[in-house]
Copies of this chain bind each other. A is one copy, B any other.
Amino acid sequence: MTSNAIDRLIAGLNRLPGIGAKSARRIALEMLTWDTEEVTALAKMMVEVKTAVRRCSVCFNLTESDPCPICSDPRRDRSLLMVVDYVADLLAIEQTSTNRGVYHVLDGRISPLDGIGPEDLHIQELLERLKQNEIKEVVLANGPTVEGDATAQYLGQCLEPLNIKVTQIARGLPVGSDLTLADQVTLARALEGRRELL
């Protein structure tokens, strides 16, 4: 609009997920107030991440070393394997520090409408890992969507003949929310998944 360089940067930032035209403009103008060194540092980080980071050959987590820090951490319980749809899910769970086991990233969800079938996910590699007899429990932590549920269901069928304990993380009321605000499906799943207290 006033400078090609700014316009190009705004268009570039606009391609990032969750960044609309107005956010892109705001970020571009903010960057202009930064020191050149700061902007250069951020630009460098972006390029570095592309060259430094690859997939863990065991669990498909993003990592700089193979196997990834989680897979090679001796304090991790190797008999407990949590299956997640995406690396973002793994990171979210890691932030809660509640999984003492290891992971397997499927890198997608079964979605016939988008043409994504089981063969597009790292399911074969999961079954190979389970053959090693080290794993005692598989926790399915697929997303609470139709696609996530379909993926979990498919995995359940695959795992049934293996005689391994398979669990799924609970669907229910999000903590801190209100019962009256919950949608019908969530409320129904919360009732279905009720636990004995006494």
Contact = CB atoms under 8 A, between A and B. Distances in A.
Contacts of A46: 9, 31, 39, 42-43
A8 interface: yes
A50 interface: yes
Nearest to A27: B16
Interface range on chain A (Cβ under 8 Å from partner): 35 or more
A52 interface: yes
A9 B48 CA distance: 9
Interface of A: 1-6, 8-9, 12-13, 15-19, 23, 25-32, 34, 36, 39-53, 61-64, 68-70, 86-88, 90-91, 94-95
Given A3-B49, A6-B53, 20 more contacts: A1-B95, A2-B61, A2-B87, A2-B90, A3-B52, A3-B53, A5-B52, A8-B49, A9-B46, A9-B48, A9-B49, A12-B41, A16-B30, A16-B31, A17-B27, A25-B88, A29-B91, A34-B50, A36-B50, A43-B46
